[in-house]
Structure 1
């Protein structure tokens, strides 16, 4: 197999681009390294038309509130490029995805400025390079604490009375070597330290550079660390430091490859891969609702009734598992707090997680019970895609046991002899009514998945756990998921009566995959439930359509899944961000997961290759996507048919492939690998760890065509995201 992806040119087709200046967060250019980020945009108010804003974010900076409540994320300040003239037209801004940097050519009323900016991939430092014309030689970079930002700018994206912004005491100190330190001490507790240094570049009189770092807190040690970050970066040879930044990204992107004939969706997918690694790193904080790009929001925290779980969903199939380590580590480090989240009488054997909290996971469990079990599903996916046995044994098994045990304390036997759950909240349904219903689909599905998975883990680890009889009994006696003539109900006696943005009443289908839809009656129930849900319209949001796309993909409805994804595109901001009063990053990231679900699924016992490809996608290719069992899978589809599939085993697990390839299916392997047909398009391969094999149709392809190369792009849809440009969708002439 040959890979001929010219990565720099392939990624360049999807760079985010602007031909007019962005004037809001919704269309800003974003950069980040999982800790520090900046959203970059300008302003149309006549008093501030000379300003290009770098709205800074730092994911670990939180502040305590008076009167309790979790400590939310708070703004850390801004860096302003204050131009000599007004920022005017023409303008050209590009976020170079391959190199993870912003480049802008700015025209003002008195001259021009070239801007280059990136957040270093390995150092906690933002760098900005300016090259000015003579007329703009007085352009300058200025740092402002959030409290010092002009109200014209501070309120440009709206004011939200629900957001806590602490009062801050701000001090500045200039050091002898030209470094400046700005310290913000928040009123009740906490603060942050920003250090920056600007220097003339050796390459030219009109070229200068600025390095900036942000630290959480204001102690002497934090200040020293932040200053060291800047000084170390500023004394590095510039190009060597830039290359170190780029090399991380150049290693990151080729971990897997996806190319589809819908150029806009292909571009969307790769912007999400960029966003994912800009928002979290293995040693960073949990990915919260906004990543490093905090703005006006009521959601300045971590939400666990869907947001975190779906934000991490694309790391598994894309094989970018190191990014999922931030979630793994957070739950490993906070086990004692998860125990304290349940009422005291249950702490001996249980644990739980509320809806919203800060990074410390202090979130007492109320009547929304299943959130920790859903996180355990993410951890299970991480295990299955990596086959990381120590993580399974040391973290997931004990955590899932405690999560399930809390449910078991709440179960009650009904008059029908079945086990029932008391009234609970199904996430997002009837939220303003605080509607609690018995036997919610959300909780029954999570409990059933939890018991099944505990039994499976015991089998994997060879354990005889004393909880086994109770888990088996629960599976036998647990009341079935409530169903009526419209499909799955929200809970016992509670049909889906009005629009519902969450797929909490469909959890058994996605993401838990408790049912496959292979049986006709099961498939009919899934499709009926899905279409009734969407037919209610009502409060449909971005993640509504990502969930719908993944559910449609689970039953092979690729054309329907594509319609849901295309609907999502209308709900996103031009830069692919998403808001519901404030940023909620999970919806676009879950859109990338929906694309995965159309190309490769591996829940259950089979690896499904091209399970839900839309009929209009005649040419599709993916390379090194990851499947459960730690398999690396590549495949191409040509002229509407699957041509070949390569699978490599990283862990020596049993391997079954389900494919729509027709005719004489053959195998090519480096050893005497046997291919067994099990019927229904399912083939079994016996692959040892490290072995790989290619399945191919003798009627369709030959060995010389086993090549990974991008699908040709629609040129007018390249660079679609960034600034708003809907005219590109309709064939209008552009240059």
Structure 2
């Protein structure tokens, strides 16, 4: 039995995003969301708008039809403004409370004070903003603006991206039963739009307690579509929210989050990185839900961008990467659902004569996944790898048989149709694009590492699935023919091109200039076709990694997350940490990330890299603390999930693993690798068998529902785990608590400052 001594409110409170200087841009804003509706909250420095606190609203599924025939992009939906009587001034206190998923603010203006609380309800499609005013701020007011009505001063502050399509629109306003509504129809053809509804309650109407002077609550909902049905949905969401007692509505919102966070636990001695990790767990659940839309490049926080859609040459795949090990598989179901619903569209993406047995995915598209597959071929195979991880971490045979297996067959078949035998007798791929390499040169290369590695992984995985009793469809003869074909491809497929620098982009094309993507290293990560277990493989991976980073011209956020995970694969904890620390310098103060526009995947992939330092499970082996930095003497995690559907908990104390708990959820075979090489005690039921193989390696026969605890014979502190292992947070570095939100670089350099805030939470 594991005793989790985690005071979640206090633990997460030490990582709340905090602002003592008002945020004035998307890069610094406080973000709230429920997977569909979101808001980025910040203000403005222009003297004519210093009295405005902006809630820049977004709804993930609102798109518009382009006149030029391009895919329907996401478009802005408007803003809610708190228009104050005075200017927002310093000091200001904003706090994004992670545990309760709400923003709280104490704002001083030039004429009075404002207290504010805001959140997007976790279960309902509505946002609430509670306001209390004092002094000269009694006249503060809420105003909603369609995007076209937002003042140019604010739009200019956000910046325009000339590659972004934003349609003209027509807004029709109405008021019914005290609820205001605005139906916005996108021109020219009126095929899209959105409906926003809101109402404001004050005094006793807004509270379960006696009337409070200066207290107001505004409820707001956004729905996709501008027809009467959409407007009715928005108004009904507002009506239901406003009629429920406030305290009950708040509690129902919080209860979802209070169930969400404890699904797993991670604590490390680097407080800034620990805070970053938990903010990403908050961001994940704010950006998607099990029944929601696929995570695109921005989540619900749309702003000026050249990428208002879904990108599949890395973005989606890496955004979802942390859901598996973090034991938050329900969030991965939005990706599963999107592909389950659009199989026919994926088939239609390939040429007519391929559609009998193939499917594909373009680089970018809208939520319908429609788009012609061009010279970048492997994107659907990479998504299938995410679906495979969803399956392996859940062991959901229905997912495997109904979606993954048939879709993976089609994705592999698309590639086999374009294979050709070369003079060497090997099967080769034609010139294709290796994602992000030579993009502006429109460079195409034969036998790209990207496509070869994905095809090899696809064939190996299909062979593995075909040996299972249920998923393989068709007659025995058909299954045998499939297996022979996949085996032949594996035997004859051209090898991954290498040269003296390591892995190449493709045949005849070395890595000759800066490359932000790890598309030429896919075999190492995330596919793990090569492990580094042999000295030859390890040397090749290291040589490739070193050469990659010697080309400094184009290193971006996801460059560092990929490198961190590759280093972790080799057990290089200090190097993995150095890449992650470098990533932090590229992030915005609120942990968002931008290049030419915002993209959500890099910080989320950073959370996955932290997982890779703590726990890995590729290659049918669970590795506990495989890449711990030298300075991380203490660490703890609880209920992280691995392939084979195991929940793993472990504690590291004074530089050594104290104990490991493994619980089986599916009864799969289990091979465990730890650094517990001395005398190890085992606590398990009679139904469980543990074989000690030496060098910290164990084989476990764990029936479904059973668990085993391995613990060092000499406990360094506390009760031995067989009497109840204890999980508790690693002590925090107090000066790095509440680091994110506004920019606080002085906290990094030991300046003799006494830091305020919630020291009691630390």
Task: Give the TM-score band, short-chain normalised.
Answer: over 0.9
Q: CA deviation at 1:145?
A: 0.2
Deviations 1:232-253 (A, max 9, x none): 0000011001000000000000
Aligned pairs for 1:82-481 (under 5 A) are: 82-175=83-176, 177-188=177-188, 189-202=191-204, 203-461=211-469, 463=472, 464=476, 465=479, 466-481=481-496
Q: CA deviation at 1:90?
A: 1.3
2:680 and 2:528 map into 1 onto residues whose CA distance is: 28
Deviations 1:66-125 (A, max 9, x none): 120000000000000000001101100000000000000000000000010000000000
Deviations 1:489-542 (A, max 9, x none): 000000000000000000000000001111011011001101110111111000
SS at match of 1:90: strand
2:259 and 2:274 map into 1 onto residues whose CA distance is: 20
SS at match of 2:359: coil
1:120 and 1:216 map into 2 onto residues whose CA distance is: 17
Who is 1:721 aligned against?
740
TM-score by length of 2: 0.96
1:261 and 1:535 map into 2 onto residues whose CA distance is: 30
1:711 aligns with 2:713: no
1:551 aligns with 2:593: no
SS at match of 2:513: coil
1:33 aligns with 2:52: no
1:693 aligns with 2:703: no
SS at match of 2:337: helix
1:672 and 1:397 map into 2 onto residues whose CA distance is: 33
Who is 1:57 aligned against?
58
TM-score by length of 1: 0.99
The answer to whether the Cα contact below 8 Å between 2:664 and 2:706 also exists between their aligned partners in 1 is: yes
1:613 and 1:449 map into 2 onto residues whose CA distance is: 28
1:730 aligns with 2:735: no
SS at match of 1:142: strand
SS at match of 1:549: helix
Who is 2:586 aligned against?
571
The answer to whether the Cα contact below 8 Å between 2:620 and 2:643 also exists between their aligned partners in 1 is: no
The answer to whether the Cα contact below 8 Å between 1:393 and 1:461 also exists between their aligned partners in 2 is: no
1:559 and 1:479 map into 2 onto residues whose CA distance is: 35
1:76 and 1:664 map into 2 onto residues whose CA distance is: 62
Q: CA deviation at 1:400?
A: 0.1
2:110 and 2:98 map into 1 onto residues whose CA distance is: 30
2:343 and 2:688 map into 1 onto residues whose CA distance is: 44
SS at match of 2:272: helix
The answer to whether the Cα contact below 8 Å between 1:662 and 1:697 also exists between their aligned partners in 2 is: no
SS at match of 1:137: coil
2:154 and 2:741 map into 1 onto residues whose CA distance is: 21
SS at match of 2:372: coil
Deviations 1:38-74 (A, max 9, x none): 0000000000000000000000000011120000000
Who is 1:484 aligned against?
499
1:635 aligns with 2:643: no
Deviations 1:645-688 (A, max 9, x none): 00000000001100011211221013352221224422001100
Q: CA deviation at 1:460?
A: 2.2
Q: CA deviation at 1:363?
A: 1.7
Q: How many residues align?
A: 734
2:545 and 2:658 map into 1 onto residues whose CA distance is: 31
Who is 1:6 aligned against?
7
1:336 and 1:63 map into 2 onto residues whose CA distance is: 22
Who is 1:664 aligned against?
679
Which one of the candidate residues 586, 594, 597 is aligned to 2:612?
597
The answer to whether the Cα contact below 8 Å between 2:687 and 2:702 also exists between their aligned partners in 1 is: no
2:693 and 2:51 map into 1 onto residues whose CA distance is: 68
More displaced 10-residue stretch of structure 1: 664-673 or 699-708? 699-708
The answer to whether the Cα contact below 8 Å between 1:663 and 1:699 also exists between their aligned partners in 2 is: no
Q: CA deviation at 1:205?
A: 2.2
1:252 and 1:530 map into 2 onto residues whose CA distance is: 36
Who is 2:760 aligned against?
none
SS at match of 1:502: coil
Q: CA deviation at 1:461?
A: 3.2
SS at match of 2:647: strand
Q: CA deviation at 1:34?
A: 0.2
2:117 and 2:604 map into 1 onto residues whose CA distance is: 26
The answer to whether the Cα contact below 8 Å between 1:305 and 1:355 also exists between their aligned partners in 2 is: yes
The answer to whether the Cα contact below 8 Å between 1:550 and 1:597 also exists between their aligned partners in 2 is: yes
1:251 and 1:715 map into 2 onto residues whose CA distance is: 27
Who is 2:46 aligned against?
45
Who is 2:603 aligned against?
588
1:318 and 1:677 map into 2 onto residues whose CA distance is: 28
SS at match of 2:508: coil
SS at match of 1:623: strand
Who is 2:208 aligned against?
none
The answer to whether the Cα contact below 8 Å between 2:160 and 2:304 also exists between their aligned partners in 1 is: yes
Which one of the candidate residues 547, 565, 574 is aligned to 1:532?
547
1:622 aligns with 2:622: no
1:447 and 1:647 map into 2 onto residues whose CA distance is: 33
1:575 and 1:152 map into 2 onto residues whose CA distance is: 23
Who is 1:75 aligned against?
76
SS at match of 2:662: strand
2:203 and 2:676 map into 1 onto residues whose CA distance is: 59
Q: CA deviation at 1:260?
A: 0.1
1:706 and 1:537 map into 2 onto residues whose CA distance is: 46
Q: Which runs of 4+ in 1 moved over 4 A?
A: none
Deviations 1:703-726 (A, max 9, x none): 357210000000000000001111
Which one of the candidate residues 693, 700, 706 is aligned to 1:678?
693
The answer to whether the Cα contact below 8 Å between 2:219 and 2:242 also exists between their aligned partners in 1 is: yes
1:496 and 1:700 map into 2 onto residues whose CA distance is: 50
The answer to whether the Cα contact below 8 Å between 2:658 and 2:711 also exists between their aligned partners in 1 is: yes
1:60 and 1:493 map into 2 onto residues whose CA distance is: 43
The answer to whether the Cα contact below 8 Å between 1:215 and 1:222 also exists between their aligned partners in 2 is: yes
| CA-based RMSD | 0.9
1:201 and 1:635 map into 2 onto residues whose CA distance is: 51
